[in-house]
Amino acid sequence: MFDVKNSVEAIDDPTTSNNECTCACHEASSSGMKDSLSDQSEERKSSEQTISYLAVQLDKAVSKCTEHGELPSAIKLPTVSVKKVFQGKWKLHVEGGKYLLYSSNIAFQIAAILNRAKSANKQPRPNHEDDNAITSKAIAERLVASVDQLAQSSSSLVVGACKGHINFYGAATQSPSESSETLSGPEESGRGCKIKGCCSRKSNEHLLGKRRRLEVRLKRSSFDPKEFDLYRRYQLNVHNDDPYNITEGSYKMFLVDSPLVFVPSSGDSGVTPCGFGSFHQQYVIDGHLIAVGVIDILPKCLSSTYLFWDPDYAILSFGNYSALQEINWVKENLVHCASLQHYYLGYYIHSCSKMR
């Protein structure tokens, strides 16, 4: 490994604590936590089943629209994908007291394919106007109309179209605070502590948790089995990719192989200590690889290509943290390379389902 930076920071693990209480309430809490983890596993399984069910319903809606002539049958349309909305975004998407739980961007993909096909077969108009442009909003509304019976057959989900997105909202009785991913603390265990003030005194210490060691390591782009295992988990759990499509070959082509020629540092002020080229920035907690940022470092910029992380650590928001870490890296390396002035987060591709 070619380490050019190895910064260490202390972070807190919300599930552990240095100061443990031995009273009965904490024993009950430990038992309750195990039950909660079991509930989380069941909830995750149920969520996956729901996602699969919703995808099938939307697939049927697409077929129905095709049969009725609302969508062309001569063009192969993309496979429907449905994604779960993270809890942190629930409060941003509330409609009629119902929280947005699942969403699909299939309408955007269909609109993009149809408009491309239409442009390829159409003669250009003098005024360059297209009064019959196919919009994702219109397609989403058609699909929702076809799948609307879902709302009638389920008391917990309501389907709706919003600016091209097809959204599934949860019942008003469910709130983010009721998510199974939240572990109860000792004061919520249902069995009061027999030592006066014990749990209230320890609650803050419990939330702070055990201090962990975070290392940020920068290395030249190369195949790493641990990175590939992490990438595979990320693609399966976050993007719901087909496991048969996640191969070492496709991974290397996507995130390892690079057309950039590595330029080593020569000690001159014009080159960063790590050199120029493609790199993988690893985030390691207590010796465990948690996230990997794929970046290109050039004389004038750092370009962030991709980030994949351990789904079990989603709460740490490594997307935000890695961006801040990369921005700070640019600032720190200005002293070595004065032309290093820019940071690019990458391109946003509207028709790419993984970016929505």
> 127 lies in a domain?
yes
Q: Which helix (H) or strand (E) holds 115?
A: helix 106-121
> 206 lies in a domain?
no
Q: In Å, how far from its chain's centre is CA 129?
A: 37
Which of these three, 130, 157, 178, is where a domain ends?
178
Identify whether residues 164 and 49 lie together within a single domain.
yes
Taking residue 314's Cβ as centre, other Cβ atoms within 10 Å add up to 16
Share of the chain above pLDDT 70, in %: 66
β-pairing, 94-95 vs 98-104, is antiparallel
Give the least confident one: 6-10, 42-46, 51-55. Answer: 6-10
Instruction: Please list the alpha-helical segments (H only) found in 219-317.
Output: 225-238, 248-251
> 190 lies in a domain?
no
Find out whether 209 and 234 touch, Cβ atoms under 8 Å. no
DSSP string, 5-40: -EEEEEEEETT--SS---SHHHHHHHHHHHHHHHHH
Is the pTM value of this prediction over 0.75?
no
> 24 lies in a domain?
no
> 111 lies in a domain?
yes
> 235 lies in a domain?
yes
Identify whether residues 108 and 241 lie together within a single domain.
no
**Cα(165)–Cα(163) distance, integer angstroms:** 6
Give the closest residue to 343 by CA, choosing from 331, 355, 353: 331
Identify whether residues 294 and 235 lie together within a single domain.
yes
Which of these three, 132, 159, 178, is where a domain ends?
178
Which of these three, 178, 199, 231, is where a domain ends?
178
Identify whether residues 163 and 38 lie together within a single domain.
yes
Residues 6 or more apart whose CB falls under 8 angstroms from that of 10 comprise 211, 212, 213, 214
Q: Considering its fold, how many domains does the chain have in total? A: 2
pLDDT band at 309 (very low <50, low <70, confident <90, very high): very high
User: What is the dihedral sign for C-alpha 114, 117, 120, 123?
Assistant: negative
Identify whether residues 120 and 162 lie together within a single domain.
yes
pLDDT band at 122 (very low <50, low <70, confident <90, very high): low
Residue-wise pLDDT tens digits, 168-226: 887 644 444 443 333 333 344 444 454 545 544 444 444 346 788 999 999 999 999 99
> 196 lies in a domain?
no
Identify whether residues 155 and 260 lie together within a single domain.
no
pLDDT at 262: 94
Identify whether residues 94 and 160 lie together within a single domain.
yes
Q: Which domain holds residue 239?
A: 6-13+211-355
Residue-wise pLDDT tens digits, 228-252: 999 999 998 888 888 888 999 999 9
Query: Maximum distance among all alpha carbons in the chain?
Result: 84
> 22 lies in a domain?
no
Identify whether residues 331 and 233 lie together within a single domain.
yes
User: What is the dihedral sign for C-alpha 290, 234, 99, 92?
Assistant: positive
Identify whether residues 42 and 114 lie together within a single domain.
yes
Residue-wise pLDDT tens digits, 124-163: 444 444 445 678 888 988 888 888 755 455 557 788 888 8
- Looking up residue 244, the CATH number of its domain turns out to be 3.40.630
